[in-house]
Amino acid sequence: MKTGALAIDAMGGDRGPSEVVDGIALAYEANQVPERLIVVGREEILTPLLQAKGLTGKDFLSVHHAEEVIGMDEKPTDTLRRKRNSSMLQGIELVKENRAQAILSCGNTGSLMAGGTVRLRPLDGIERPALATVMPGTRRNGKWCLLDAGANPDSKPEQLVHNAILGSQYMNAAHNVSQPKVGLLSIGTEEGKGGQRIKETHNLLQSIGTIINYHGLIEGFQVYNDVVDVVVCDGFVGNILLKGSESLFHAILNILKEEIEETPMRKAGALLAKGAFKGMKSRLNPEEFGAAPLLGLKGHVLKAHGSSNCFSFASAIKIAKELLQYDVIDGISKDLEKSNVILQRIKESNATPAT
């Protein structure tokens, strides 16, 4: 099956390029790489690292030199102008020029979103891309997709409908969920409870019918309960929910650790139950899911966590491969076109005065 080339920004993450190269090696060993990989960054650093892993002289992998690196704390708007020779923006250019079909980076999120949006442009019929993050559910292997997780903080009803389409296509293509159930996040299921924007979006989602599998409004207390596969919200709410969850997860681990260290008996018990803690962590740690795609653009942009280790980076490469393989962009385009016809009709009928 055709997958195309994946450009990898190897310089951006918190752990540096050697962790990225280790991730590439892991993905390669597991036979989970796309047809071709273009590793972008400083050649003098990358080549020895790849050599050490036996990854040089292979047809599927090449290095694309880029002199600069975008720091994690740099301002996205500045980097777009001043860091055109950075590994991240060079990787995006490879996608722009169709020399690669996707870019994966664990660097500065804002720069990746801004660079991806400005250089690759949104698909026809969509105004803004959305960041999709896959989150864990309560049941074993349970997962759900949260979008928008931070790209568009103030989404309009039509944009939220587009998010529903993006998330559905993504869960289908990259996570094997057929007819994903979509929920619109609100603060109560009662009429009018979440405000005018939620009400309008809810009506639109009901109107686009079979394009998505719309479950209805859901509340915050349901998100981790495996009720729906796609949770739609604006980028402000999604980002707070995502980051707030990370904050709580770390708080719980820290508190549990502190409580365990209180007595020797608790410590001994925790040692015996070690496997349970490990199991819990691996089921809940969002890094296991690898990468969050910025959906709705004319090319694939994937964001891996800044602190990704080689395992999560390998899993990110696998996600990229799936995305390329199932041509999610084509599926998104078709559904956008169909839904926009309906949305346009609703708009016009709302604008027509009652006779």
164, 263, 347, 354 from 351: Cα distances, Å: 25, 69, 6, 9
Supply the minimum distance, in Å, between the C-beta of residue 30 and a second copy: 25
- Alpha-carbon distance of 214 to 306, in angstroms, equals 33
Site mask for a second copy (CB under 8 A), range 259-298, x = bound = xx-xx-xxxxxxxxxxxxx-xx--xx--------------
Site mask for a second copy (CB under 8 A), range 12-51, x = bound = ----------------------------------------
34, 106, 235, 317 from 10: Cα distances, Å: 16, 8, 27, 12
- Provide the β-strand partners of residue 293: 302
- Considering only residues 91-110, where is the footprint of a second copy by CB under 8 A? 110
Of the candidate residues 29, 51, 98, 193, the single one contacting a second copy (CB under 8 A):
193
Q: Decide if residue 54 touches a second copy (CB under 8 A).
A: no
Of the candidate residues 87, 163, 239, 339, the single one contacting a second copy (CB under 8 A):
239
Judged by CB under 8 A, how many residues of this single chain contact a second copy? 69
Comparison of 193 and 347: residue with beta carbon closer to a second copy: 193
Of the candidate residues 23, 34, 150, 286, the single one contacting a second copy (CB under 8 A):
150
Greatest distance between any 2 Cα atoms in the chain: 80
Comparison of 54 and 244: residue with beta carbon closer to a second copy: 244
Q: Decide if residue 244 touches a second copy (CB under 8 A).
A: yes
Supply the minimum distance, in Å, between the C-beta of residue 163 and a second copy: 15
28 closest CA partner among 317, 319, 323, 325 = 317
Query: What is the gyration radius of the CA atoms in the chain, in angstroms?
Result: 21
φ, ψ (nearest 5 deg) of residue 233? -160, 175
Q: Decide if residue 118 touches a second copy (CB under 8 A).
A: no
Looking only at the bridges linking them, the beta strands covering 291-295 and 300-304 are antiparallel
Q: Decide if residue 312 touches a second copy (CB under 8 A).
A: no
Contact by Cβ (8 Å): 112, 303: yes
Comparison of 209 and 269: residue with beta carbon closer to a second copy: 269
- Alpha-carbon distance of 100 to 200, in angstroms, equals 39
Residue positions counted in the chain: 355
φ, ψ (nearest 5 deg) of residue 294? -90, 105
Supply the minimum distance, in Å, between the C-beta of residue 143 and a second copy: 12
Residues near a second copy, by CB under 8 A? 75-76, 110, 136-138, 140, 150, 153-154, 185-188, 190, 193-196, 219-225, 233, 235-237, 239-252, 254-256, 258-260, 262-263, 265-277, 279-280, 283-284
